[in-house]
Structure 1
């Protein structure tokens, strides 16, 4: 068995002997999409516990250390931790009651272990996965254009880090969403992060990421590339198009 999955099984076996645990759910590549698991995958999971038991499993990590000593760990949220085992397996988990689980959005979960009397349907979230408010071509196109516009103004003001986020992150996320609408759902799409596995889904000639995301010192060049990519594929409104062109010209980087 792959070491990451074995570690999850080891944890589940240990927790199954406790009288206040209900289930262990694998998520991500340890969940329903195990075909994408590889040597670079981390281990994401939920531990479902009885009412009143959560603090025990959040504050004490003896159960986490049962299969292997930890090299490092820290609390990254109220209910969970991130940790690195001595053998190199990296984990991220949350401890939840069934009541709390009912309010958490997630997808692609797998029941690794459950108590015989555990509630049915633990692996299915009743909370919709957060999505962009308007998942349409019009929204993603115009959001990308306005991201570029705002980013160029931030660059001209000297706010280069903020500019890089608007131009090289937010606008590119919208480009990826446009590609998804045009070509369908990519295999193993992550509903929480549009950037996951895009390199496998779209070749460089379709999505030129190296030119769209050249780095902190190249915001204007990135804006030019993404603006041209959008303009060649979609009807850019002349108002915002002219405004972006003027900013690129002002920055001395448009021809």
Structure 2
């Protein structure tokens, strides 16, 4: 058994002795796709508790430290914490009541342990992640183009950090969305909450040339040229915005 799964089982064994805990759910690579676990994974989980017990499990890490001492932790959200065990296992967890869990979007959860009187279907009771309001080729294409346009203006103004975000992050997010829409078979095991996860496995470099699109802080013009060329090769790009982007690439 992978050490992280063993850690989760050890936590479950302890939480099972506490009368105010209903269940422990593994998520991400500790969820139903736990074969993805490797030495670079972190351990994501939900603790489901009775009404009135939540604060005890968010504010204190005494229960978390039972399998191994906790070397570092902080509250990263009102619902939970991030923590590093002394043996190097990094965890991110949240604590919810049944009512809170029912309103929470999540996928791929696995019941590690649940109390005998816990409701059925805990691992699938959350609603599906909301789709973007404009999840179309037209939207993502034009959003990418305008990201390049705004980013190049900020580059020319000397605002290089925000330019880098527009050109090498926001526009590339739209490129990934375009690939996801036009090559749906490549969406296997993609993260519905974070599109950049496992993108290299889904789209090889000849489909998604990330090295050219994300060359780094000092190379915004090169990145914009690469992304514009990629878009122009695969989609019908409006000549007006494309011309405006090319003017900015030639300026300065």
TM-score range, shorter chain: over 0.9
Distance 1:187 1:235 in 2: 27
Q: Which residue of 2 aligns with 1:156?
A: 156
Return the offset for 1:205: 1.6
Q: Which residue of 1 aligns with 2:40?
A: 40
Q: Which residue of 1 aligns with 2:6?
A: 6
Cα deviation, 1:150-178, whole Å, max 9, x if unaligned, reads 11111111111111111000100111111
Moved over 4 A (4+): none
- 1:103 has 2:100 as partner: no
Q: Residues 46-57 of structure 1 correspond to what in structure 2 (within 5 A)? A: 46-57=46-57
Q: Residues 110-149 of structure 1 correspond to what in structure 2 (within 5 A)? A: 110-149=110-149
Q: Which residue of 2 aligns with 1:213?
A: 214
Distance 1:66 1:210 in 2: 44
Distance 2:35 2:169 in 1: 28
Please identify, of 229-238 and 128-137, the stretch whose mean Cα deviation from structure 2 is larger. 128-137
- What's the secondary structure of 1:92's corresponding residue? strand
Q: Which residue of 1 aligns with 2:198?
A: 197
Question: Are the counterparts in 1 of residues 111 and 122 from structure 2 also a CA contact under 8 Å?
Answer: yes
Distance 2:172 2:132 in 1: 14
- What's the secondary structure of 1:61's corresponding residue? coil
Q: Which residue of 2 aligns with 1:180?
A: 180
| Structure 2 stretches lacking a partner, 5+ long | none
Q: Which residue of 2 aligns with 1:246?
A: 247
Question: Are the counterparts in 1 of residues 107 and 126 from structure 2 also a CA contact under 8 Å?
Answer: no
Question: Are the counterparts in 2 of residues 130 and 192 from structure 1 also a CA contact under 8 Å?
Answer: no
Give the TM-score, by structure 1 length.
0.96
Q: Which residue of 2 aligns with 1:23?
A: 23
Cα deviation, 1:90-127, whole Å, max 9, x if unaligned, reads 00000111111112111110111011110111111432
Q: Which residue of 2 aligns with 1:60?
A: 60
Q: Which residue of 1 aligns with 2:224?
A: 223
Distance 2:100 2:202 in 1: 35
| Structure 1 stretches lacking a partner, 5+ long | none
Question: Are the counterparts in 2 of residues 23 and 47 from structure 1 also a CA contact under 8 Å?
Answer: yes
- What's the secondary structure of 1:63's corresponding residue? coil
- Residue 189 and residue 68 in structure 1: after superposition, are their counterparts in 2 closer, same or farther (change >3 A)? same
Give the TM-score, by structure 2 length.
0.97
Cα deviation, 1:195-238, whole Å, max 9, x if unaligned, reads 11111111112111111001111111111110011001100011
Question: Are the counterparts in 1 of residues 101 and 126 from structure 2 also a CA contact under 8 Å?
Answer: no
Distance 2:198 2:215 in 1: 19
Please identify, of 182-191 and 216-225, the stretch whose mean Cα deviation from structure 2 is larger. 182-191
- Could you say what the CA RMSD is over the residues aligned between the two structures, in angstroms? 1.0
